[in-house]
Structure 1
Amino acid sequence: MFDYQTITVVLVTFLIAGTVKGTIGLGLPTTSLVLLTLSINLPSAMALLLVPSLITNIWQAFTGSHGLEIIKRFWLFFLLSTLCVWPGAIILSVISIKYSSGLLGLLLMLYTSFSLGKKRYSINSNTEKYFSVGSGIINGVVTGMTGSFIFPGVLFLNSVGLQKEKLFQAMGILFTLSTISLAFALNQVDLLNLKQATWSSIATIPAIVGMLLGNQLRKQISEKLFQTIFLITIFVIGSYLVSKLFMG
Protein backbone atom coordinates (compact mmCIF):
# COMPACT_ATOMS: atom_id res chain seq x y z
CA MET A 1 0.00 0.00 0.00
CA PHE A 2 2.62 2.57 1.04
CA ASP A 3 4.83 2.96 -2.05
CA TYR A 4 6.28 6.36 -2.91
CA GLN A 5 3.35 7.29 -5.14
CA THR A 6 0.81 6.48 -2.43
CA ILE A 7 2.79 8.37 0.21
CA THR A 8 2.85 11.43 -2.06
CA VAL A 9 -0.91 11.16 -2.62
CA VAL A 10 -1.53 10.91 1.14
CA LEU A 11 0.64 13.91 2.02
CA VAL A 12 -0.74 16.12 -0.77
CA THR A 13 -4.30 15.08 0.08
CA PHE A 14 -4.00 16.18 3.70
CA LEU A 15 -2.29 19.41 2.66
CA ILE A 16 -5.31 20.17 0.46
CA ALA A 17 -7.78 18.99 3.13
CA GLY A 18 -6.09 21.16 5.74
CA THR A 19 -6.24 24.15 3.39
CA VAL A 20 -9.98 23.62 2.94
CA LYS A 21 -10.43 23.37 6.71
CA GLY A 22 -8.43 26.55 7.29
CA THR A 23 -10.35 28.46 4.62
CA ILE A 24 -13.98 27.57 5.40
CA GLY A 25 -13.68 26.02 8.88
CA LEU A 26 -14.74 22.49 7.93
CA GLY A 27 -14.20 19.76 5.36
CA LEU A 28 -10.96 18.05 6.41
CA PRO A 29 -12.39 14.52 6.81
CA THR A 30 -14.67 14.88 3.77
CA THR A 31 -11.93 16.25 1.51
CA SER A 32 -9.39 13.65 2.59
CA LEU A 33 -11.91 10.82 2.12
CA VAL A 34 -13.00 11.78 -1.37
CA LEU A 35 -9.46 12.42 -2.63
CA LEU A 36 -7.95 9.30 -1.07
CA THR A 37 -10.68 7.02 -2.42
CA LEU A 38 -9.64 8.04 -5.93
CA SER A 39 -6.34 6.23 -5.33
CA ILE A 40 -6.78 3.72 -2.48
CA ASN A 41 -9.63 1.65 -1.07
CA LEU A 42 -12.18 3.19 1.30
CA PRO A 43 -11.24 1.27 4.50
CA SER A 44 -7.61 2.39 4.14
CA ALA A 45 -8.72 5.97 3.52
CA MET A 46 -10.89 5.83 6.64
CA ALA A 47 -7.93 4.62 8.70
CA LEU A 48 -5.64 7.38 7.44
CA LEU A 49 -7.97 10.25 8.32
CA LEU A 50 -8.31 9.25 11.99
CA VAL A 51 -5.48 11.19 13.66
CA PRO A 52 -5.71 14.45 11.63
CA SER A 53 -9.48 14.40 12.08
CA LEU A 54 -9.26 13.73 15.81
CA ILE A 55 -6.74 16.49 16.50
CA THR A 56 -8.61 19.19 14.55
CA ASN A 57 -12.01 18.14 15.89
CA ILE A 58 -10.92 18.05 19.54
CA TRP A 59 -9.91 21.68 19.10
CA GLN A 60 -13.31 22.44 17.55
CA ALA A 61 -15.18 20.59 20.32
CA PHE A 62 -13.49 22.63 23.05
CA THR A 63 -13.84 25.95 21.26
CA GLY A 64 -16.54 27.91 23.05
CA SER A 65 -18.26 27.73 26.42
CA HIS A 66 -21.40 25.79 25.50
CA GLY A 67 -20.07 22.24 25.79
CA LEU A 68 -22.10 21.12 28.82
CA GLU A 69 -25.27 22.74 27.52
CA ILE A 70 -24.86 21.02 24.14
CA ILE A 71 -24.15 17.60 25.68
CA LYS A 72 -27.14 17.90 28.02
CA ARG A 73 -29.45 18.70 25.11
CA PHE A 74 -28.08 16.22 22.56
CA TRP A 75 -26.67 13.43 24.73
CA LEU A 76 -28.93 10.79 23.18
CA PHE A 77 -27.98 11.83 19.65
CA PHE A 78 -24.27 11.75 20.51
CA LEU A 79 -24.60 8.39 22.30
CA LEU A 80 -26.38 6.69 19.40
CA SER A 81 -24.04 8.26 16.84
CA THR A 82 -21.11 6.82 18.77
CA LEU A 83 -22.44 3.34 19.53
CA CYS A 84 -23.87 2.68 16.07
CA VAL A 85 -20.48 3.10 14.41
CA TRP A 86 -19.72 -0.51 15.42
CA PRO A 87 -22.48 -2.20 13.39
CA GLY A 88 -21.58 0.05 10.46
CA ALA A 89 -17.95 -1.07 10.62
CA ILE A 90 -19.03 -4.72 10.82
CA ILE A 91 -21.09 -4.24 7.65
CA LEU A 92 -18.09 -2.55 5.99
CA SER A 93 -15.91 -5.56 6.77
CA VAL A 94 -18.21 -8.05 5.03
CA ILE A 95 -19.57 -6.21 1.95
CA SER A 96 -17.84 -5.36 -1.30
CA ILE A 97 -15.82 -2.14 -1.14
CA LYS A 98 -17.55 -0.83 -4.27
CA TYR A 99 -20.87 -0.75 -2.41
CA SER A 100 -19.50 1.17 0.58
CA SER A 101 -17.71 3.58 -1.80
CA GLY A 102 -20.94 4.02 -3.75
CA LEU A 103 -22.80 4.77 -0.52
CA LEU A 104 -20.17 7.37 0.37
CA GLY A 105 -20.66 8.98 -3.03
CA LEU A 106 -24.43 9.05 -2.59
CA LEU A 107 -24.14 10.61 0.88
CA LEU A 108 -21.80 13.29 -0.46
CA MET A 109 -24.24 14.10 -3.26
CA LEU A 110 -27.15 14.35 -0.82
CA TYR A 111 -25.20 16.52 1.64
CA THR A 112 -23.94 18.93 -1.01
CA SER A 113 -27.41 19.16 -2.59
CA PHE A 114 -28.91 20.17 0.77
CA SER A 115 -26.04 22.58 1.44
CA LEU A 116 -26.25 24.28 -1.96
CA GLY A 117 -30.05 24.46 -1.89
CA LYS A 118 -31.68 27.67 -0.72
CA LYS A 119 -34.38 25.94 1.31
CA ARG A 120 -33.66 25.58 5.01
CA TYR A 121 -35.33 22.96 7.19
CA SER A 122 -36.27 23.35 10.85
CA ILE A 123 -37.09 20.85 13.59
CA ASN A 124 -39.31 22.00 16.45
CA SER A 125 -38.88 21.03 20.09
CA ASN A 126 -41.80 18.58 19.98
CA THR A 127 -40.17 16.37 17.34
CA GLU A 128 -36.51 17.00 18.15
CA LYS A 129 -36.21 13.86 20.30
CA TYR A 130 -37.46 11.60 17.52
CA PHE A 131 -35.16 13.16 14.94
CA SER A 132 -32.34 12.89 17.47
CA VAL A 133 -32.81 9.11 17.73
CA GLY A 134 -33.20 8.53 14.00
CA SER A 135 -30.35 10.83 13.01
CA GLY A 136 -28.05 9.35 15.66
CA ILE A 137 -28.60 5.76 14.58
CA ILE A 138 -28.25 6.49 10.87
CA ASN A 139 -25.24 8.77 11.36
CA GLY A 140 -23.43 6.13 13.40
CA VAL A 141 -24.06 3.31 10.93
CA VAL A 142 -23.01 5.32 7.88
CA THR A 143 -19.93 6.57 9.72
CA GLY A 144 -18.87 2.98 10.31
CA MET A 145 -19.59 2.06 6.69
CA THR A 146 -18.10 5.11 4.95
CA GLY A 147 -16.01 7.19 7.36
CA SER A 148 -18.24 10.21 6.70
CA PHE A 149 -19.51 11.94 9.85
CA ILE A 150 -21.74 14.51 8.18
CA PHE A 151 -24.98 12.86 7.02
CA PRO A 152 -27.56 13.19 8.42
CA GLY A 153 -26.01 14.41 11.70
CA VAL A 154 -24.86 17.82 10.49
CA LEU A 155 -28.22 18.45 8.81
CA PHE A 156 -29.97 17.55 12.08
CA LEU A 157 -27.79 19.91 14.14
CA ASN A 158 -28.27 22.60 11.51
CA SER A 159 -32.06 22.28 11.73
CA VAL A 160 -32.64 22.70 15.47
CA GLY A 161 -32.01 26.44 15.70
CA LEU A 162 -28.50 26.51 17.17
CA GLN A 163 -26.56 29.76 17.08
CA LYS A 164 -23.43 29.71 14.90
CA GLU A 165 -21.01 29.26 17.82
CA LYS A 166 -23.06 26.45 19.36
CA LEU A 167 -23.44 24.71 15.99
CA PHE A 168 -19.67 24.87 15.42
CA GLN A 169 -18.99 23.35 18.85
CA ALA A 170 -21.76 20.73 18.52
CA MET A 171 -20.31 19.53 15.22
CA GLY A 172 -16.88 19.35 16.85
CA ILE A 173 -18.26 17.13 19.63
CA LEU A 174 -20.03 14.89 17.09
CA PHE A 175 -16.92 14.56 14.92
CA THR A 176 -14.64 13.90 17.90
CA LEU A 177 -16.82 11.15 19.34
CA SER A 178 -17.35 9.65 15.87
CA THR A 179 -13.62 9.62 15.13
CA ILE A 180 -12.75 7.89 18.42
CA SER A 181 -15.51 5.34 17.94
CA LEU A 182 -14.46 4.73 14.33
CA ALA A 183 -10.87 4.07 15.39
CA PHE A 184 -11.91 1.41 17.90
CA ALA A 185 -14.45 -0.10 15.49
CA LEU A 186 -11.99 -0.37 12.58
CA ASN A 187 -9.45 -1.98 14.89
CA GLN A 188 -12.09 -4.42 16.14
CA VAL A 189 -12.89 -5.63 12.60
CA ASP A 190 -9.20 -5.76 11.59
CA LEU A 191 -9.35 -2.76 9.23
CA LEU A 192 -6.80 -0.68 11.17
CA ASN A 193 -3.16 -1.64 11.67
CA LEU A 194 -0.04 -0.02 13.13
CA LYS A 195 1.35 1.09 9.77
CA GLN A 196 -1.87 2.91 8.91
CA ALA A 197 -1.98 4.51 12.35
CA THR A 198 1.62 5.68 11.92
CA TRP A 199 0.95 7.27 8.53
CA SER A 200 -2.24 8.81 9.88
CA SER A 201 -0.13 10.49 12.56
CA ILE A 202 2.40 11.70 9.97
CA ALA A 203 -0.43 13.06 7.81
CA THR A 204 -1.27 15.47 10.63
CA ILE A 205 1.78 17.57 9.69
CA PRO A 206 0.66 18.55 6.15
CA ALA A 207 -2.89 18.94 7.47
CA ILE A 208 -1.74 21.57 9.98
CA VAL A 209 0.41 23.29 7.33
CA GLY A 210 -2.64 23.35 5.07
CA MET A 211 -4.77 24.89 7.82
CA LEU A 212 -2.23 27.69 8.21
CA LEU A 213 -2.24 28.26 4.44
CA GLY A 214 -6.04 28.22 4.46
CA ASN A 215 -6.15 30.87 7.16
CA GLN A 216 -4.10 33.14 4.88
CA LEU A 217 -6.13 32.21 1.80
CA ARG A 218 -9.35 33.13 3.60
CA LYS A 219 -8.13 36.73 3.78
CA GLN A 220 -7.60 36.87 0.02
CA ILE A 221 -10.77 35.29 -1.43
CA SER A 222 -14.47 35.14 -0.70
CA GLU A 223 -15.19 32.41 1.86
CA LYS A 224 -18.67 31.90 0.38
CA LEU A 225 -17.26 31.48 -3.15
CA PHE A 226 -14.64 29.02 -1.96
CA GLN A 227 -17.27 27.01 -0.07
CA THR A 228 -19.49 26.87 -3.16
CA ILE A 229 -16.59 25.62 -5.30
CA PHE A 230 -15.75 23.08 -2.60
CA LEU A 231 -19.32 21.74 -2.45
CA ILE A 232 -19.60 21.48 -6.24
CA THR A 233 -16.28 19.61 -6.37
CA ILE A 234 -17.44 17.20 -3.66
CA PHE A 235 -20.69 16.63 -5.58
CA VAL A 236 -18.78 15.79 -8.77
CA ILE A 237 -16.49 13.34 -6.98
CA GLY A 238 -19.48 11.82 -5.19
CA SER A 239 -21.13 11.32 -8.58
CA TYR A 240 -17.99 9.59 -9.82
CA LEU A 241 -17.96 7.21 -6.83
CA VAL A 242 -21.61 6.33 -7.47
CA SER A 243 -20.95 5.80 -11.19
CA LYS A 244 -18.21 3.27 -10.37
CA LEU A 245 -20.95 0.95 -9.10
CA PHE A 246 -22.11 0.54 -12.68
CA MET A 247 -18.69 0.26 -14.29
CA GLY A 248 -17.34 -3.14 -15.19
Structure 2
Amino acid sequence: MTSDPLMLLAVAGVFLLAGLVKGVIGLGLPSIAIGLLGLFLPPAEAATLLVLPSLLTNLWQAAWGGALPLLLRRLAPLLLGILAGAAAAALAGLGLGAGGVQAARQALGLALLLYGLLGLSERRLTLPPRAAGWAGGACGAATGLLTAATGVFVLPAVPYLQALGLERQALLQGMGLSFSASTLALALTLSGHAALGAAQLGTSALALAPTLLGMALGQRLRLPPLLFRRVFFLSLLLLGAHLALAARG
Protein backbone atom coordinates (compact mmCIF):
# COMPACT_ATOMS: atom_id res chain seq x y z
CA MET A 1 0.00 0.00 0.00
CA THR A 2 1.14 3.53 -0.71
CA SER A 3 2.81 5.58 2.02
CA ASP A 4 0.88 8.71 1.03
CA PRO A 5 -0.07 10.49 4.32
CA LEU A 6 -3.64 11.18 3.18
CA MET A 7 -4.16 7.54 2.26
CA LEU A 8 -2.78 6.38 5.61
CA LEU A 9 -5.04 8.86 7.41
CA ALA A 10 -8.05 7.59 5.47
CA VAL A 11 -7.22 3.97 6.35
CA ALA A 12 -6.79 4.87 10.03
CA GLY A 13 -10.14 6.70 9.98
CA VAL A 14 -11.87 3.67 8.46
CA PHE A 15 -10.54 1.34 11.16
CA LEU A 16 -11.38 3.83 13.90
CA LEU A 17 -14.99 3.94 12.67
CA ALA A 18 -15.17 0.16 12.17
CA GLY A 19 -13.81 -0.43 15.68
CA LEU A 20 -16.33 2.03 17.12
CA VAL A 21 -19.21 0.18 15.46
CA LYS A 22 -17.93 -3.15 16.79
CA GLY A 23 -17.57 -1.66 20.25
CA VAL A 24 -21.22 -0.57 20.24
CA ILE A 25 -22.99 -3.61 18.73
CA GLY A 26 -20.41 -6.42 18.76
CA LEU A 27 -20.13 -6.81 14.98
CA GLY A 28 -19.56 -4.77 11.85
CA LEU A 29 -15.76 -4.44 11.85
CA PRO A 30 -15.11 -6.50 8.68
CA SER A 31 -18.15 -5.18 6.80
CA ILE A 32 -17.47 -1.52 7.54
CA ALA A 33 -13.71 -1.78 7.03
CA ILE A 34 -13.68 -3.70 3.77
CA GLY A 35 -16.67 -1.79 2.41
CA LEU A 36 -15.17 1.66 2.99
CA LEU A 37 -11.63 0.60 2.05
CA GLY A 38 -13.09 -0.87 -1.14
CA LEU A 39 -14.02 2.65 -2.22
CA PHE A 40 -10.37 3.54 -2.79
CA LEU A 41 -8.40 0.26 -2.62
CA PRO A 42 -8.74 -3.02 -4.53
CA PRO A 43 -10.85 -5.40 -2.36
CA ALA A 44 -7.99 -7.91 -2.06
CA GLU A 45 -5.68 -5.19 -0.72
CA ALA A 46 -8.40 -3.98 1.64
CA ALA A 47 -8.83 -7.54 2.91
CA THR A 48 -5.14 -7.87 3.74
CA LEU A 49 -5.37 -4.80 5.99
CA LEU A 50 -8.31 -6.39 7.77
CA VAL A 51 -6.64 -9.66 8.78
CA LEU A 52 -4.90 -8.83 12.08
CA PRO A 53 -7.44 -6.29 13.48
CA SER A 54 -10.28 -8.69 12.72
CA LEU A 55 -8.54 -11.80 14.04
CA LEU A 56 -7.32 -10.30 17.31
CA THR A 57 -10.52 -8.39 18.17
CA ASN A 58 -12.71 -11.40 17.40
CA LEU A 59 -10.54 -13.81 19.39
CA TRP A 60 -10.86 -11.33 22.27
CA GLN A 61 -14.65 -11.25 21.80
CA ALA A 62 -14.84 -15.06 21.62
CA ALA A 63 -12.86 -15.51 24.83
CA TRP A 64 -14.85 -12.96 26.86
CA GLY A 65 -17.38 -15.08 28.77
CA GLY A 66 -17.85 -18.49 30.31
CA ALA A 67 -19.53 -20.29 27.42
CA LEU A 68 -16.46 -20.85 25.22
CA PRO A 69 -15.98 -24.65 25.67
CA LEU A 70 -19.69 -25.32 25.12
CA LEU A 71 -19.84 -23.01 22.11
CA LEU A 72 -16.79 -24.64 20.52
CA ARG A 73 -18.58 -28.00 20.63
CA ARG A 74 -21.94 -26.63 19.54
CA LEU A 75 -20.58 -24.51 16.70
CA ALA A 76 -18.00 -27.01 15.40
CA PRO A 77 -20.03 -27.77 12.22
CA LEU A 78 -20.28 -24.03 11.44
CA LEU A 79 -16.58 -23.36 12.06
CA LEU A 80 -15.39 -26.38 10.06
CA GLY A 81 -17.83 -25.49 7.29
CA ILE A 82 -16.37 -21.97 7.04
CA LEU A 83 -12.86 -23.36 6.52
CA ALA A 84 -14.09 -25.98 4.04
CA GLY A 85 -16.10 -23.42 2.06
CA ALA A 86 -13.17 -21.03 1.81
CA ALA A 87 -10.88 -23.87 0.71
CA ALA A 88 -13.37 -24.88 -1.99
CA ALA A 89 -13.58 -21.28 -3.20
CA ALA A 90 -9.79 -21.04 -3.37
CA LEU A 91 -9.55 -24.30 -5.33
CA ALA A 92 -12.22 -23.02 -7.72
CA GLY A 93 -10.32 -19.75 -8.25
CA LEU A 94 -13.00 -17.61 -6.58
CA GLY A 95 -10.81 -15.87 -4.02
CA LEU A 96 -10.47 -12.09 -3.76
CA GLY A 97 -6.90 -12.21 -4.96
CA ALA A 98 -7.72 -14.32 -8.02
CA GLY A 99 -10.02 -12.17 -10.15
CA GLY A 100 -10.23 -8.65 -11.53
CA VAL A 101 -10.66 -5.62 -9.29
CA GLN A 102 -14.00 -4.60 -10.79
CA ALA A 103 -15.54 -8.05 -10.41
CA ALA A 104 -14.33 -8.29 -6.80
CA ARG A 105 -15.68 -4.81 -6.04
CA GLN A 106 -19.07 -5.67 -7.52
CA ALA A 107 -19.26 -8.92 -5.54
CA LEU A 108 -18.38 -7.01 -2.38
CA GLY A 109 -21.06 -4.41 -3.10
CA LEU A 110 -23.74 -7.04 -3.67
CA ALA A 111 -22.81 -8.86 -0.45
CA LEU A 112 -23.04 -5.63 1.58
CA LEU A 113 -26.33 -4.73 -0.11
CA LEU A 114 -27.82 -8.11 0.83
CA TYR A 115 -26.54 -7.82 4.40
CA GLY A 116 -28.01 -4.34 4.75
CA LEU A 117 -31.41 -5.48 3.47
CA LEU A 118 -31.43 -8.49 5.80
CA GLY A 119 -30.45 -6.37 8.80
CA LEU A 120 -33.11 -3.74 8.11
CA SER A 121 -35.79 -6.43 7.82
CA GLU A 122 -35.05 -7.37 11.48
CA ARG A 123 -36.36 -10.87 10.84
CA ARG A 124 -35.24 -13.55 13.25
CA LEU A 125 -35.38 -17.18 12.16
CA THR A 126 -35.80 -20.11 14.52
CA LEU A 127 -34.04 -23.43 14.13
CA PRO A 128 -35.09 -26.72 15.79
CA PRO A 129 -32.23 -28.30 17.78
CA ARG A 130 -32.20 -31.44 15.62
CA ALA A 131 -31.38 -29.33 12.53
CA ALA A 132 -28.60 -27.27 14.13
CA GLY A 133 -25.77 -29.61 13.13
CA TRP A 134 -26.36 -30.02 9.40
CA ALA A 135 -27.63 -26.42 9.07
CA GLY A 136 -24.45 -25.20 10.78
CA GLY A 137 -22.27 -27.08 8.32
CA ALA A 138 -24.23 -25.78 5.33
CA CYS A 139 -24.25 -22.18 6.61
CA GLY A 140 -20.55 -22.44 7.41
CA ALA A 141 -19.71 -23.63 3.89
CA ALA A 142 -21.76 -20.81 2.36
CA THR A 143 -20.11 -18.28 4.69
CA GLY A 144 -16.67 -19.57 3.75
CA LEU A 145 -17.42 -19.25 0.05
CA LEU A 146 -18.71 -15.71 0.49
CA THR A 147 -15.76 -14.78 2.73
CA ALA A 148 -13.24 -15.97 0.16
CA ALA A 149 -15.04 -14.22 -2.70
CA THR A 150 -15.89 -10.89 -1.05
CA GLY A 151 -14.23 -10.57 2.37
CA VAL A 152 -17.68 -10.27 4.03
CA PHE A 153 -18.00 -12.69 6.98
CA VAL A 154 -21.56 -12.33 8.16
CA LEU A 155 -23.81 -14.21 5.75
CA PRO A 156 -25.34 -16.63 6.47
CA ALA A 157 -23.38 -17.24 9.69
CA VAL A 158 -24.94 -14.43 11.77
CA PRO A 159 -28.59 -15.30 10.92
CA TYR A 160 -27.75 -18.92 11.78
CA LEU A 161 -26.29 -17.92 15.16
CA GLN A 162 -29.33 -15.76 15.89
CA ALA A 163 -31.63 -18.68 15.01
CA LEU A 164 -30.01 -20.83 17.72
CA GLY A 165 -31.64 -18.66 20.41
CA LEU A 166 -28.40 -17.96 22.29
CA GLU A 167 -28.47 -15.42 25.11
CA ARG A 168 -26.71 -12.14 24.33
CA GLN A 169 -23.25 -12.87 25.76
CA ALA A 170 -23.14 -16.34 24.19
CA LEU A 171 -24.29 -14.84 20.88
CA LEU A 172 -21.46 -12.30 21.00
CA GLN A 173 -18.97 -15.08 21.78
CA GLY A 174 -20.39 -17.20 18.98
CA MET A 175 -20.00 -14.34 16.52
CA GLY A 176 -16.42 -13.88 17.71
CA LEU A 177 -15.69 -17.55 16.99
CA SER A 178 -17.37 -17.42 13.59
CA PHE A 179 -15.58 -14.22 12.56
CA SER A 180 -12.24 -15.60 13.79
CA ALA A 181 -12.68 -18.70 11.62
CA SER A 182 -13.68 -16.51 8.68
CA THR A 183 -10.63 -14.29 9.16
CA LEU A 184 -8.35 -17.33 9.16
CA ALA A 185 -10.10 -18.63 6.06
CA LEU A 186 -9.67 -15.27 4.33
CA ALA A 187 -5.98 -15.09 5.28
CA LEU A 188 -5.35 -18.58 3.89
CA THR A 189 -7.19 -17.70 0.68
CA LEU A 190 -5.20 -14.50 0.22
CA SER A 191 -1.95 -16.33 0.97
CA GLY A 192 -2.81 -18.89 -1.69
CA HIS A 193 -3.05 -16.09 -4.26
CA ALA A 194 0.19 -14.45 -3.04
CA ALA A 195 -1.82 -11.43 -1.82
CA LEU A 196 -0.81 -11.81 1.83
CA GLY A 197 2.81 -11.92 2.99
CA ALA A 198 5.03 -10.49 5.69
CA ALA A 199 4.86 -6.96 4.28
CA GLN A 200 1.05 -7.00 4.14
CA LEU A 201 0.81 -8.41 7.66
CA GLY A 202 3.09 -5.64 8.89
CA THR A 203 0.78 -3.04 7.36
CA SER A 204 -2.23 -4.83 8.83
CA ALA A 205 -0.61 -4.61 12.29
CA LEU A 206 -0.56 -0.81 11.96
CA ALA A 207 -4.36 -0.85 11.73
CA LEU A 208 -4.64 -2.39 15.20
CA ALA A 209 -4.20 0.88 17.11
CA PRO A 210 -7.11 2.81 15.51
CA THR A 211 -9.27 -0.32 15.66
CA LEU A 212 -8.73 -0.82 19.39
CA LEU A 213 -9.21 2.89 20.07
CA GLY A 214 -12.50 2.80 18.17
CA MET A 215 -13.67 -0.25 20.11
CA ALA A 216 -12.83 1.39 23.42
CA LEU A 217 -14.79 4.50 22.42
CA GLY A 218 -17.72 2.44 21.17
CA GLN A 219 -17.97 0.48 24.41
CA ARG A 220 -18.28 3.76 26.32
CA LEU A 221 -20.90 5.34 24.11
CA ARG A 222 -24.47 5.36 25.35
CA LEU A 223 -26.45 5.18 22.11
CA PRO A 224 -29.91 3.67 21.55
CA PRO A 225 -28.94 0.20 20.26
CA LEU A 226 -31.93 -0.21 17.93
CA LEU A 227 -31.43 3.19 16.28
CA PHE A 228 -27.69 2.57 15.91
CA ARG A 229 -28.29 -0.84 14.29
CA ARG A 230 -30.74 0.65 11.81
CA VAL A 231 -28.32 3.41 10.82
CA PHE A 232 -25.56 0.80 10.53
CA PHE A 233 -27.54 -1.48 8.21
CA LEU A 234 -28.86 1.42 6.14
CA SER A 235 -25.29 2.65 5.69
CA LEU A 236 -24.17 -0.82 4.56
CA LEU A 237 -27.06 -0.99 2.11
CA LEU A 238 -26.15 2.36 0.54
CA LEU A 239 -22.44 1.56 0.52
CA GLY A 240 -23.09 -1.82 -1.10
CA ALA A 241 -25.33 -0.30 -3.76
CA HIS A 242 -22.69 2.33 -4.55
CA LEU A 243 -19.89 -0.25 -4.88
CA ALA A 244 -21.98 -2.58 -7.04
CA LEU A 245 -23.19 0.17 -9.39
CA ALA A 246 -19.79 1.88 -9.64
CA ALA A 247 -18.14 -1.43 -10.51
CA ARG A 248 -20.59 -1.93 -13.38
CA GLY A 249 -19.62 1.41 -14.84
* TM category, shorter: over 0.9
Q: Where in structure 2 are there 5+ consecutive unaligned residues?
A: none
Superposed, 1:116-135 pairs within 5 Å as 116-135=120-139
**Matched letter for residue 3 of structure 1:** S
Other-structure match for 2:57: 56
Other-structure match for 2:224: 222
Q: How far 1:234 sits from its partner (Å)? A: 0.8
Other-structure match for 1:194: 198
User: 2-side partners of 1:96 and 1:16: how far apart?
Assistant: 28
TM-score (norm 1): 0.92
Q: Which moved more, 1:28-37 or 1:17-26?
A: 17-26
RMSD: 1.6
Superposed, 1:62-81 pairs within 5 Å as 62-81=63-82
**Matched letter for residue 198 of structure 1:** G
Other-structure match for 2:85: 84
- After superposing on structure 2, the runs of 4+ consecutive aligned residues of structure 1 that deviate more than 3 Å are none
User: 2-side partners of 1:20 and 1:139: how far apart?
Assistant: 21
Aligned length: 245
Q: How far 1:143 sits from its partner (Å)? A: 0.7
TM-score (norm 2): 0.92
Q: Percent identity?
A: 31
Q: Name which of 176, 180, 186 aligns with 2:180.
A: 176
Residues 144-175 of structure 1: CA distance to partner in whole angstroms, max 9, x if unpaired? 11111101111111112222121111111111
Q: How far 1:129 sits from its partner (Å)? A: 2.8
Verify: 1:2 aligned to 2:5, yes or no.
Answer: no
Verify: 1:12 aligned to 2:13, yes or no.
Answer: yes
User: 2-side partners of 1:26 and 1:119: how far apart?
Assistant: 17
Other-structure match for 1:206: 210
User: 1-side partners of 2:173 and 2:217: how far apart?
Assistant: 23
Q: Say if 1:87 and 1:144, in contact at 8 Å, map to a contact too.
A: no
